[in-house]
């Protein structure tokens, strides 16, 4: 049974978010091809995603010294551990995210910080950091107001490129992306732009639902 983690990084409700609608399309198409897959949803703006703050830094230091954490430290450090375990348990992680100001919303970055834990998702070596999550796959479903995949704006695209590099750092090398872009240019074109992206999303979902070839 494949475990799919849907990471929703838009604070808007589904009906008002193109990125979340792409995620919904992905899940529906995937389940049509693989009804046994287990889906789990993580809502970055509704579920608790701790920021790396003084409590967490002090808590990690205490753990290294085998000292007792106070309740605030224990709660935050424990939540981070849960998020890492959830990420590691997934065979496929699908991010539904908007592009904001050349990158992603702050809670997406907070989640990236939460799951980048030395000794769990990557490790330091004398040859540099090594990812520990090889074999996992990821999908990025992104909505953009302007066109950033080509032309002069391409150099300012730090969303998909950043997340792809981050996942590679953790060892996730199979990363596919679909984006609906230009959604802020002409509102009359938005549904046709979305429909084209949704069609590509369904094709990607069907491909992801197929069993991986045996080595």
Identify the domain containing residue 177 by its residue range: 3-208
- 120 CB burial (10 A radius; 0-12, 13-18, 19+): middle
Average pLDDT over residues 133-139: 95
pLDDT in tens, 90-130: 999 999 999 999 999 999 999 999 999 999 999 999 999 99
User: Token digits for 17?
Assistant: 């978010």
In this prediction, residue 151 has a pLDDT band, given cuts at 50, 70 and 90, of confident
Contact 56, 76 (CB under 8 A): yes
Compute CA 126 distance to the chain's CA centroid, rounded to the nearest angstrom.
29
pLDDT at 211: 77
- 108 CB burial (10 A radius; 0-12, 13-18, 19+): buried
Note whether residue 215 is domain-resident: no
Contact 176, 135 (CB under 8 A): no
Quote the DSSP letter at residue 11.
-
Quote the DSSP letter at residue 175.
E
Note whether residue 31 is domain-resident: yes
Note whether residue 213 is domain-resident: no
pTM over 0.75: yes
Query: How many distinct structural domains can be found in the chain?
Result: 1
In this prediction, residue 153 has a pLDDT band, given cuts at 50, 70 and 90, of confident
């Amino acid at each position: 049974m494949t475990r799919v983690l849907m990471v929703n990084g838009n604070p808007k409700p589904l009906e008002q978010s193109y990125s979340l609608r792409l995620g919904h399309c992905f899940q529906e198409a995937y389940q049509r091809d693989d009804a046994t897959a287990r889906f789990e949803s993580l809502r970055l703006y509704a579920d608790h995603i701790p920021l790396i703050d003084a409590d967490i830094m002090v808590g990690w230091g205490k753990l290294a010294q085998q000292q007792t954490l106070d309740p605030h430290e224990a709660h935050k450090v424990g939540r981070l551990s849960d998020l890492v375990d959830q990420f590691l348990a997934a065979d496929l992680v699908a991010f539904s995210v908007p592009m904001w100001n050349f990158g992603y919303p702050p809670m997406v970055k907070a989640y990236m910080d939460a799951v980048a834990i030395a000794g769990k998702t990557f490790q330091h070596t004398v040859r540099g950091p090594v990812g520990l999550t090889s074999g996992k796959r990821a999908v990025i479903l992104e909505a953009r107001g302007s066109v950033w995949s080509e032309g002069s704006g391409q150099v300012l695209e730090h969303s998909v490129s950043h997340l792809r590099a981050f996942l590679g750092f953790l060892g996730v090398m199979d990363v596919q992306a679909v984006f609906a872009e230009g959604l802020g240019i002409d509102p009359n074109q938005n549904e046709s732009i979305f429909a084209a992206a949704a069609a590509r999303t369904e094709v990607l979902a069907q491909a992801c639902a197929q069993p991986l070839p045996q080595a």
